[in-house]
Amino acid sequence: MMKTYNSLIIFILFSLFPLFSYGEEFSISSKNNLISELRPGQKVTAGFMDITANKDAKIIKIEAELIGRIEAHSMMMNDEIMKMRKITPELVKNKKYKFQPGGNHLMFFGVERKLIAGGEINLLFTFQLKNKKKLTESIRFKIK
Ligand SMILES: [Cu+2]
């Protein structure tokens, strides 16, 4: 009887152990979250933000309702020609990552909703941690 009881306790301890090994929760903070307003007839615009995560993480997906595609881009001047390239932003633990005009930025294609200055919109970000775990966070942007 005693033996069974001991095994039960050991079983419970082992079941609980994974809870302790996860460590602190993933969290992000962001500032200056802005999207350029969409002028009539336009379907493409850009967005900017400063984002910091408490763990190393890649931004692997960004989505929003009624927006066809959202990509992260880098921007480089090449012989006076501006070149943009799709990137997978890699956030370094506790280090600010900037999306800003003239540099890395967010780009919105096939926008089928109104984005008028003064309004707000939520974007759903999917992050991937080093251990491959995926997490989503909704981040609010102001339209400017
Ligand atoms: Cu771009």
Cα–ligand 1 centroid distance for 23 (angstroms): 36
Cα–ligand 1 centroid distance for 17 (angstroms): 45
Cα–ligand 1 centroid distance for 110 (angstroms): 13
Task: Report pLDDT digits (tens) over 22-54.
Answer: 567 999 999 999 999 998 899 999 999 999 999
Give the C-alpha separation, 117 to 88, whole Å.
28
Whether pLDDT at 132 is above 80: yes
Q: What average pLDDT does this structure show over 101-124?
A: 96
Cα–ligand 1 centroid distance for 105 (angstroms): 6
Count of Cβ atoms closer than 10 Å to residue 26 Cβ: 15
Cα–ligand 1 centroid distance for 137 (angstroms): 22
pLDDT (0 to 100) of residue 12 = 55
The answer to whether the beta carbons of residues 50 and 39 sit under 8 Å apart is: no
Nearest alpha-carbon partner for 34 in 115, 92, 109: 115
Whether pLDDT at 13 is above 50: yes
Structure-block tokens of residue 49: 């933000």
Cα–ligand 1 centroid distance for 87 (angstroms): 10
Cα–ligand 1 centroid distance for 106 (angstroms): 6
The CATH homologous superfamily of the domain defined by 25-143: PCu(A)C copper chaperone (2.60.40.1890)
Cα–ligand 1 centroid distance for 16 (angstroms): 46
Count of Cβ atoms closer than 10 Å to residue 96 Cβ: 13
> Which residue type, as a one-letter code, is found at position 17?
F
The answer to whether the beta carbons of residues 66 and 113 sit under 8 Å apart is: yes
Stronger pLDDT, 23 or 78, i.e. the higher one: 78
Between strands 134-143 and 81-87, the pairing is unpaired
Whether pLDDT at 14 is above 60: no
Cα–ligand 1 centroid distance for 28 (angstroms): 23
pLDDT (0 to 100) of residue 21 = 47
Task: Report pLDDT digits (tens) over 114-127.
Answer: 999 999 999 999 99
